Structure 1
Amino acid sequence: MIEVTVGYVAGFIAAAIVVAQMFCPTAIALILAGFLRDTETVATWNIASRVLQRTWWPTILQSDSVQSHGVRPRISLISWAVPIIAVLIAIAGVVTPLGLYEEIDTLGRRLGSFSYVRDSGSFGAATSQRGLHNFSRTCSWGHSLLDQGPAPCPYSGSSVIVSGSNRTLNFTMPFGIDSKINPTAKEIFSSGTKGRTTISNFFDIEWRQLTARRRAFVDNGTEVAVGAYRQLESHIMDPSIKVVEGLIVDAANGGIGFRNHTIPTNIDQGASWSEDLLFIEPITSCVGLNLTLDFEVNYTVPSPSIDNLRLTDRGGFVNINRTYPFYNSENTQANPDLDGRAYKGAWLNNFWTMAYLNVTATSNKTVGRKAWSYVDSHLGKEFPLDVDVLTSYRGLGIGRFGSYLDLNHFTIGANPAANWSNPFGVDDRNFSDVEILCSGAGNADLANISHIYVGCGLLRGVPQRVDGGSKLAVYENHSKWSSPLHSCAAAVRAIVKTVTFTVNGTSGLSSLKVTSIMPKNYSSPEDYPLWGMENSGLSMDGISSIWGIISPEYASRPNVSTVKQQEFHIPGYSASLSISQLEPSLGSTTYNLPGSDFPSSVMKLLLPHNSNQGALSKEWPFDLAGASSMPIFERWQALSADAAGISDVIKLLWTDLAASAVVGTKGTLGSINDVPEEAVEISIQVFGRRIKYHYAFGIPAFLLLLVMLSIMLFLLVTSISQSSTINVLRRRLQQLTVGRILTTILYPESSDLAMSSKEWSSANGSKTVLLNHAPQKTAVAEDENLTKYQADTPAEEVKVGLMTSDRRAE
């Protein structure tokens, strides 16, 4: 449907006016012709001639005034230019306005005045009140039940007395345990974003939902704020950038930005501006195992109606590289080498799977057995497996390495062909080690800036149909399917990005849109943020480490490690037996330090140890695996075809879960949008209505302008040469006036072609002339005596002849 613009309306009006301009004079001239008589005063003939000759009737009727026979070419050319230009003017008058249109455009820049706006949706309704709860944590020494105990956290001022032997340790806390974060730690790890900036820091991140718990020896048994988790919404099927309470959710590329939302006030048509915001986003890499899980749908077998499950060698066994892989671990903050980690996970997973299936041998120096002494496989070789009733083979699957094998013998006997002898005793511990070797840091490693969190696991892609049927008919009986297997390594990083916002002039958070998200552009490496992390000397499982952008003055502190670069990889560790703090069965987090805990906790929901845990389990409120939701199944199926697409799956799932976990509290008005001295001065581009033009519609007007310029140039030349002047024009008008011509011929004593118009009108205007319609060169005046006059000259002969003829006509 064509949109009716202001230009179109103006064009329609102009067309109507052109029609009226042509119709009215033409119709009036026709009416005037009917009122004229053959006998009229010469003044009447003048007026009537002027009216009739100025209409289109001479051209329509091809009357004498338009006949070109005998006309000088120059005069004919100029005379035809008049109607042609008139037509051009009419076309330009109609077409030119059609190019006009109105749109919202930028009008100028000014400093914006912002105010807080709350999310009226589920994210806003479920978000706990901000700024009322203390951040908290406790620290510990040791790793086992025998030697693990409380330890003083950095800057806490707590005291712990340790006594006893190495086998039995006693921990005494004379002043109890204070879980509150010391102001010194807050000062250090907030210093880099103090003042007027929109960039959030570690302590600007809070749990979206909070509850409280008591612990006997912590804070004197008083309630301690802790995080609670439930997924509020899922944006998997809407891959766009969302603005929700406290966050920018990049559901297209993955990642969340922290912003306590404000919008400009006193904006009628809208505005645009940019802000630098802190984002936390997952980065992933996946490597194909060159193995697939193949199965058939068969409703004659028990639930889950999966039959003939088998592991197929697509090159992962027979073509495996027999050299042990290593990845780059020299500077994990600058280069986490996720590709190398994912490849190592894939290699180890395949090796232990081959050993379990007796495809190859493991090394054993005691008996003199060498690894790779044989490889009993070929492309396309199938290895029958037992069906795990807890696994949803029809959807996406993410979990531990080797999860497709019955390592714990839970399903032995269901499929005799799948009862592998496992001659080398491969068990769950071997595959658990794969996760730690891939991630690079375990619970006993020191919590420092080099030990970044990397979650590793096995991703089973959504099955692809292989028998030529519908790719979505995953419940069709006897259909055949194949799921690719991938080894994935995922880290989480903090990075500052420049976000461009627009508002459309309406009220509410729905008016706020994000038009672009780009990494912040720095003029030189010297301008990169200085990221800091506390160096506590405790192990990974003994502390939730604080990190953030810090001021250079704190970089030299002995217990602060720093790195100056664009992004900061969140520290942490991966343990195969650990459960995410956000797991619904736990009810709440341990303490209230989301900036440290939430990135890895969300990732652990995607990499659970057991298939009945995590965000892809059957108990999760949203079908994120696509086992039942066909749109999600189709989307994951499209991304499961290669390793690059599979990497996006983890990023999108992490973002979907993280949006419900945390919220940003810092906005343009400072922390909690309630610190006026920290309000940021932001220049906004104001929008307003602006009239614009499509220049193609101006072509007739441009041509008319060119014609006018040509006429003006020609007129200037003729005026300079004195060939065209007002006096000349006046004389030509007098020569061409029909009444003056008649009186000059009939009444030479009172009329000539040189006298002024006023003199002529006064002397001759009321004289009557009969112009007979008969084709004779005759005319008669009212004085009958003139017919008796004998002509002595040719002019008088014409005059008398005209009078005599008219007398006979009477």
Structure 2
Amino acid sequence: MTLIVTRITVAEAATIINAFITFVSFTIALFLVVLLVKFLPTTTTAVAWSSISRTLHSSLWPTVLRTDSRTGQTEGVVVSILSRLGTLTTILVAVAGVILPLGLSEGPIVDGSFRPLKGTYIPDNSPLALSTTPYQDSFVYGRQCGYLLPVSCPGNDDPDSTSIAPSILEIFNSTPHGPFSMNFRRFYPGDEKKNCSDGFEASAETFVLRNDIFFADGLIVDMTAEQPGIGLWNQTVPTEVEIGGTWSQDILWIEPETECVDTNLTVDYFLFDTLQPGFDEFNITDHGGFYNLTREPPSFDYDGQNINLRQHAYKGAVYSNEFAMLFLNATRNSSSEGTTYPLRDDLDMPGLSRSDLQKISVLPLSYLNDTESIDISCRGFENADTANITNVHVHCGSFLGPPVRTDGGDSRMFDRGSKWAQAIHACSSTTRVSVQTVTFSSNSSTDMQGLQINRDKSGLNVLWATEKADLNIRDVDLFWGRVDDRYENHSSLWTTRSNRLYLPAGLSSSFPALAAGMPAAAHTQAWGRVYDAGFGNDELQDYSGQSDYAIRAKLQNLVGLDPIRGNSQIRNLVFTDIMANNIIGTRTNDTLMVAEHLKTLSYDFKYAIPGFLLLAIWIPSFLLSTLFFFTRSVTFTHMKQVFNHISVGRVVVGTSALRVQPQGGGTPYMPVLHNNHSNVDMRDSSSGGGLSGHRRNKSEWAGTVGKTPVILDFNNSPSSTRNVMEEDIKLMGIYSPHV
């Protein structure tokens, strides 16, 4: 049987139990003495009377009834203080036993020392996991090289072979942070001609609405707007812990990086009967994009891994505005703040159209004409350039930001005749990878829902490498990753030691698709989706907010907080969401260094005051007693003599060392012994035979005869000259009727 009580803590329950036990322990002693008095024999041995006396006078009844032996009936300051301290400690023990547990409560969970524990894979049951191809270990890595015709891949002499050279496998498997630590989330098995797995794109669930870091099948996903990304982690946790633990792992992170520049142009329009703009006319409004356009040709630094994305975005914005100005027959001098340029939705505009409005839309940099050269200028590389570590993959494009009302109304209300505007931003994006230390903390060895994740975003300073190949960007996707230090000067590698690596451009940069057997190149496909003109009409997921109004509201909020950073954050969040839906980490750790979680207790010392008072009495008592025993001022033999000679049995039969001290001096003497047949008045003359007498301060006996001086004289006691045992037996034989 189990009793369940609500609204009470463990400490409060312990206090109630202790109070009950204390009450019972005190009252049961009182009740037992009452029963003892009731059944007290009139005749028994002296030893029995000593035992009975000890039981009676050690109870609280002498204090309650204010009898002769109550506290305070002593002569001398020291004896009086010690007697009163005995009563005080009894009270303090009772109070402390009740109050002390109230200060107890469950303390925080703390980490023990780190020790190696076995790591176990815990399967996920999320929608993302359900959409993952089973038997991921059947995935086959491979690579195809060549733009129009097959060419030999690095380390492979056969242009028709998709197999990867053993030397490359050895190099990029020298650490767990490389291209072979990930798979496509969904894939087809390879065929005879192409002996590698083909990935295919899909979307199981979107994480764009989240703003935290969490695990999803095979990944750690960070959807915070400041620095989103995915970490390759095949959920390996310690299971040999009772209430969880804390451990750290170095994990390969793939992160987007985007910079946007405001073109200072907006698209303005009115809403009428539907969510589509009224009629087929809308305006380009100049807020400095034309009349304040720079006359200096923009440029950026070609500095390899030290890439400046803002320079790329700025160059794209300048050329985009210049081509738009030419298309609209505008000039810097003819335009001014607020000048509008009407546009019609017809076939003369290859980019911007009415269908792009009232949602977040992707536009080419030359959104009013078709000029590919602007995109090449923004990216900083051409497909015919050499693929290497310095030619970093960059994607460029223009965006129509979230629609906002410019008539003072609420952007969540679609009033008929309301006026709206959408800003045009030019953006550039790339992908960086790093090895970051991620700390995990779990309160369970089996439940992953309470897993807490924190990552050090600074990254470790490690050796990164890409293949060194004499091939054009459009012909090869280079393998990349962290490699062992012994490969730092390897002839087949480009290497750099840094806390991050910007991924190189390759074949997939020109043809955004999941490259067969190459999940390490999936980032180019993700950016292709982000910058695709069909962004708002994506059949997999609506990132434009056209039909998903929750996403629309979040993206509007990001831009409302910061129009420049907000547009960058939108690109990064969408990239991360696409990558999480199409990539999975596969590396597991068999052994983890884990600090096991330990339960603790906390205590509030305000409830310890009775205990401190008790200690204040106990500590000096203990120290003084120890000192007296050590110096032999008090011995066990002496204590035994005192206890024996003041017992009531010895006093009655006359073998006690207690002697009456005559007034005026003289030899102490033993008082006359009573015999068993003497008539002794058992009544307390102060009580009148009733219970009310115990309320008086002192009994008459205590004030008269009780003041008689009595000395404890061991030298003149019978036991000082004869054997104690013989004397006791003799006296017991004389005075006991039972012997």
* TM-score, length basis structure 2: 0.75
Change (3 A) 1:52 1:559: closer
Distance in 2 of aligned mates of 1:316 and 1:773:
114
Matched, 1:181 2:163: yes
On the 8 A contact 1:102/1:689 being kept in 2, the answer is: no
Select which of 303, 312, 324 maps to 2:276. 303
On the 8 A contact 1:46/1:738 being kept in 2, the answer is: yes
Describe the SS at the equivalent of 2:581.
coil
Match of 2:154 in 1: 154
Describe the SS at the equivalent of 2:207.
coil
Select which of 696, 699, 713 maps to 2:608. 699
Deviation of 1:127 (Å): 3.0
Give per-residue Cα distances to partners, 1:445-490, cap 9 Å, x unaligned. 222221101122234433445556555x244545555544433221
Matched, 1:343 2:297: no
On the 8 A contact 2:442/2:450 being kept in 1, the answer is: yes
Matched, 1:518 2:456: yes
Task: Please list, as runs of the form range in 1=range in 2, the aligned pairs for 1:107-126 lying within 5 A after superposition.
Answer: 107-126=112-131
Distance in 1 of aligned mates of 2:481 and 2:567:
31
Stretch deviating more after TM superposition (25-34 or 126-135): 25-34
Distance in 2 of aligned mates of 1:765 and 1:395:
115
Give per-residue Cα distances to partners, 1:173-220, cap 9 Å, x unaligned. xxxx51413424xx23641542xx5x2322333322223687xxxx7x
Select which of 426, 430, 438 maps to 1:487. 426
On the 8 A contact 2:163/2:195 being kept in 1, the answer is: no
Match of 2:184 in 1: 207
Match of 2:546 in 1: 627
On the 8 A contact 1:234/1:656 being kept in 2, the answer is: yes
Select which of 257, 261, 272 maps to 2:231. 257
Task: Please list, as runs of the form range in 1=range in 2, the aligned pairs for 1:319-468 lying within 5 A after superposition.
Answer: 321-329=294-302, 331-333=303-305, 335-361=306-332, 374=333, 376-378=335-337, 391=355, 393-401=357-365, 403=367, 407=368, 427-429=369-371, 432-465=372-405
Give per-residue Cα distances to partners, 1:364-417, cap 9 Å, x unaligned. xxxxxxxxxx26212x555555577764644444443364xxx2xxxxxxxxxx
Select which of 14, 20, 24 maps to 1:20. 24
Change (3 A) 1:126 1:79: same
Distance in 1 of aligned mates of 2:27 and 2:322:
93
Select which of 483, 500, 504 maps to 2:439. 500
Change (3 A) 1:395 1:95: farther
Deviation of 1:320 (Å): 5.1
Deviation of 1:570 (Å): 0.8
Matched, 1:227 2:159: no
Task: Return the letter of the residue paired with 2:188.
Answer: T
Match of 1:565 in 2: 498
Deviation of 1:40 (Å): 12
Task: Return the letter of the residue paired with 2:85.
Answer: A
Task: Please list, as runs of the form range in 1=range in 2, the aligned pairs for 1:673-692 lying within 5 A after superposition.
Answer: 682-685=591-594, 687=596, 690-692=599-601
Select which of 581, 588, 594 maps to 1:667. 588
Distance in 1 of aligned mates of 2:410 and 2:645:
92
Match of 1:753 in 2: 658
Distance in 2 of aligned mates of 1:462 and 1:514:
33
Deviation of 1:768 (Å): 6.6
Deviation of 1:107 (Å): 4.9
Task: Return the letter of the residue paired with 1:428.
Answer: D
Distance in 2 of aligned mates of 1:647 and 1:516:
23
Deviation of 1:328 (Å): 2.4
Change (3 A) 1:318 1:711: farther
Deviation of 1:573 (Å): 6.7
Select which of 618, 638, 642 maps to 2:557. 638
Give per-residue Cα distances to partners, 1:292-314, cap 9 Å, x unaligned. 4455543x257366999555555
Matched, 1:657 2:566: no
Select which of 605, 609, 621 maps to 1:711. 621
Match of 1:548 in 2: 481
Match of 2:106 in 1: 101
Task: Return the letter of the residue paired with 1:580.
Answer: P
Change (3 A) 1:633 1:71: farther
Distance in 2 of aligned mates of 1:309 and 1:90:
87
Task: Return the letter of the residue paired with 2:300.
Answer: Y
Task: Return the letter of the residue paired with 1:496.
Answer: V
On the 8 A contact 1:439/1:574 being kept in 2, the answer is: no
Change (3 A) 1:47 1:131: closer
Distance in 2 of aligned mates of 1:61 and 1:356:
113
Distance in 2 of aligned mates of 1:307 and 1:729:
114
Stretch deviating more after TM superposition (259-268 or 488-497): 259-268
Distance in 2 of aligned mates of 1:752 and 1:349:
119
Distance in 2 of aligned mates of 1:580 and 1:761:
121
Match of 1:247 in 2: 219
On the 8 A contact 2:140/2:195 being kept in 1, the answer is: no
Match of 1:674 in 2: none
On the 8 A contact 1:294/1:310 being kept in 2, the answer is: yes
Distance in 1 of aligned mates of 2:676 and 2:395:
109
Match of 1:531 in 2: 465
Matched, 1:648 2:564: no
Match of 2:721 in 1: none
Change (3 A) 1:691 1:155: closer
On the 8 A contact 2:270/2:277 being kept in 1, the answer is: no
Give per-residue Cα distances to partners, 1:720-746, cap 9 Å, x unaligned. 8988777887898799988999x6xxx
Could you tell me which runs of 5 or more consecutive residues in structure 2 were left unpaired when the two chains were aligned. 346-351, 661-669, 690-703, 709-739
Change (3 A) 1:124 1:75: same
Change (3 A) 1:314 1:554: same
Change (3 A) 1:750 1:465: same
Task: Return the letter of the residue paired with 1:545.
Answer: L
Describe the SS at the equivalent of 2:547.
coil
Task: Return the letter of the residue paired with 2:184.
Answer: W
Could you tell me which runs of 5 or more consecutive residues in structure 1 were left unpaired when the two chains were aligned. 142-147, 159-176, 362-373, 408-426, 582-588, 670-681, 779-793, 799-810
Task: Return the letter of the residue paired with 2:455.
Answer: I
Distance in 1 of aligned mates of 2:648 and 2:542:
95
Change (3 A) 1:79 1:543: same
Match of 1:676 in 2: none
Distance in 2 of aligned mates of 1:264 and 1:504:
11
Change (3 A) 1:703 1:460: farther
Change (3 A) 1:556 1:105: closer
Change (3 A) 1:304 1:732: farther
Distance in 2 of aligned mates of 1:75 and 1:476:
95
Give per-residue Cα distances to partners, 1:127-151, cap 9 Å, x unaligned. 333344543444336xxxxxx5444
Q: How many residues align?
A: 668
Change (3 A) 1:280 1:724: same
Give per-residue Cα distances to partners, 1:84-109, cap 9 Å, x unaligned. 43343334323444525377654554
Distance in 2 of aligned mates of 1:152 and 1:56:
103
* TM-score, length basis structure 1: 0.69
Task: Please list, as runs of the form range in 1=range in 2, the aligned pairs for 1:763-774 lying within 5 A after superposition.
Answer: 769-772=680-683
RMSD: 4.8
Distance in 1 of aligned mates of 2:157 and 2:87:
99
